[in-house]
A and B are shown apart, each in its own frame.
Chain A
Amino acid sequence: MGRYVIRRLLQMVPVFIGTTFLIFVMVYAIGDPIAAMFGDRTPDPATAAAIRESLHLNDPLWSQYLQYMAGIFQGDFGTSFNGTPVVELMGNAFPNTIKLTLVAFAIELVVGLTLGVIAGLRRGRIVDTGVLVFTLLVISIPTFVTGYVLQYFIGVKLGWAAPAVSIDVTFDQLLLPGIVLAGVSLAYVSRLTRTSVAENLRSDYIRTATAKGLPRRRVVTVHLMRNSLIPVVTFLGTDIGGLMAGAVVTERIFNIQGVGYQLYQGILRQNSPTVVGFVTILVVVFLAANLLVDLLYAVLDPRIRYA
Chain B
Amino acid sequence: MRGAKSATWIAGAIAIALSATACGGSSGGSGAQAGFVRANWGDPQNPLEPANTNEVLGGKVLDQIFMNLKEYDPKTGEAKNAAAESIETTDAQNFTIKIKKGLKFSNGEALTAKSFVDAWNYAALATNKQKNAYFFSDIEGYDKTSPEDGKPTAQTLSGLKVVDDTTFTVKLSKKFGTWPVRLGYKAFAPLPKLFFDKHEEYLKKPVGNGPYAVESYERGKLMKLVPNEHYAGVHKPKNKGVLLQVFTDSNAAYAALQAGNLDVDDDIPAEQIKNAKTDLKGNYFTQPAGIYQAVTFPFYKEEWNKPGMEKVRKGISMAIDRKSITDKIYNGTRTPMVDLTSPVLGEANGYDKNICGDVCTYNPTEAKKLIEEGGGIPGGKLTISYNADKDSHKQWADAACNSINKALGNDNVCVGNPVGTFGDFRNQITKGEMNGPFRAGWQMDYPHIENFLTPLYKTGASSNDGKWSNKEFDKLMDDAAAETDIKKATDIYKQAEKIVIQDAVNIPLFYQNGTVGWSENVSDVALNPFSVPVFSDIKVKG
Residue numbers of A with Cβ under 8 A of B are 1-2, 5, 9, 30-47, 49-51, 54, 81-84, 88-92, 94-96, 98, 148, 151-152, 155-156, 159, 162-164, 166-169, 251-257, 261, 264-265, 268-270, 281, 284-285, 288-289, 291-292, 295-296, 298-299, 302
Contact = CB atoms under 8 A, between A and B. Distances in A.
A46 B146 contact: yes
A91 B423 contact: no
B305 interface: no
B6 A298 contact: yes
Contacts of B9: 1-2, 5, 295
6 contacts: A44-B146, A47-B126, A47-B146, A81-B45, A269-B45, A299-B6
A40 B10 contact: no
Interface of B: 2-3, 5-7, 9-10, 12-14, 16-17, 20-25, 27, 29-31, 43-47, 54-55, 126-131, 133-134, 137, 146-149, 152, 203, 218-222, 245-249, 251-253, 255-256, 258-259, 261-262, 389-390, 420-424, 426-427, 429-430, 440-443, 455, 462-463, 465
Contact of A167 (B149, B246, B422, B423): B246
A47 B389 contact: no
Contacts of B7: 299
Contacts of A47: 126, 129-131, 133-134, 146
Contact of A37 (B131, B152, B246): B131
A175 B134 CA distance: 49
A255 B465 contact: no
Nearest to A281: B21
B25 to A, nearest CB: 3
B249 A253 contact: yes
Contact of A32 (B31, B47, B427): B427
B429 to A, nearest CB: 8
A1 B255 contact: no
B261 A288 contact: no
A270 B54 contact: no
A163 B133 contact: no
User: Helix, strand, loop or mixed for chain A's interface?
Assistant: helix
A226 B247 CA distance: 44
A31 B247 contact: no
B421 A40 contact: no
Contacts of B130: 47
A295 B2 CA distance: 12
A168 B126 CA distance: 40
Nearest to A42: B462
Given A168-B29, A255-B248, 14 more contacts: A30-B420, A44-B134, A47-B146, A50-B127, A81-B45, A82-B47, A155-B255, A156-B255, A164-B255, A255-B256, A256-B248, A265-B43, A288-B16, A296-B10
A104 B145 CA distance: 55
Contacts of B427: 31-32, 35
B314 to A, nearest CB: 24
Contacts of A42: 426, 429-430, 462-463, 465
B126 A1 contact: no
A234 to B, nearest CB: 15
Contacts of B262: 164
Contact of A38 (B23, B44, B131, B149): B131
A261 B42 CA distance: 12
A32 B426 contact: yes
Nearest to B57: A82
Nearest to A8: B13
A244 B420 CA distance: 26
A162 B45 CA distance: 28
Nearest to A156: B258
Interface centre among A34, A38, A151 (most CB of B within 10 A): A38
Contact of A49 (B13, B54, B126): B126
Contacts of B152: 46
Contacts of B221: 92, 167, 257
B443 A299 contact: no
B148 A46 contact: yes
B46 A268 contact: no
Top 4 A-B residue pairs of the complex, sorted by shortest distance between their CB atoms = A95-B25, A31-B423, A83-B47, A288-B17
Given A31-B421, A44-B462, A281 B14 contact: no
A75 to B, nearest CB: 11
Contacts of B148: 45-46
Contacts of B423: 30-36, 270
Contacts of B218: 167
B43 A82 contact: yes
B342 to A, nearest CB: 14
A45 B203 CA distance: 25
Contacts of B261: 162-164, 166
A50 B124 CA distance: 12
Contacts of A83: 46-47, 203
A76 to B, nearest CB: 15
A166 to B, nearest CB: 7
B107 to A, nearest CB: 21
B198 to A, nearest CB: 15
Nearest to B252: A255
Most buried by B among A42, A94, A168: A42
Nearest to A96: B25
Contacts of B13: 5, 288, 291-292, 295
Contact of A44 (B5, B6, B133): B133
A270 B422 CA distance: 9
Given A92-B221, A162-B261, A252 B249 contact: yes
Nearest to B218: A167
A92 B45 contact: no
Given A5-B13, A162-B261, A51 B248 contact: no
Contacts of A281: 20-21
Contacts of A152: 255
B17 A163 contact: no
B148 to A, nearest CB: 5
Nearest to A148: B251
A88 B462 contact: no
Given A38-B131, A45-B148, A90-B23, A292 B389 contact: no
A29 B250 CA distance: 30
A167 B38 CA distance: 13
A43 B246 CA distance: 28
Given A35-B423, A39-B55, A295-B10, A91 B24 contact: yes
A50 B129 contact: yes
B44 A82 contact: yes
A245 B126 CA distance: 39
Nearest to B147: A46
A291 B219 CA distance: 35
A156 B540 CA distance: 22
Contacts of A169: 27
Contacts of A164: 247, 252-253, 255-256, 259, 261-262
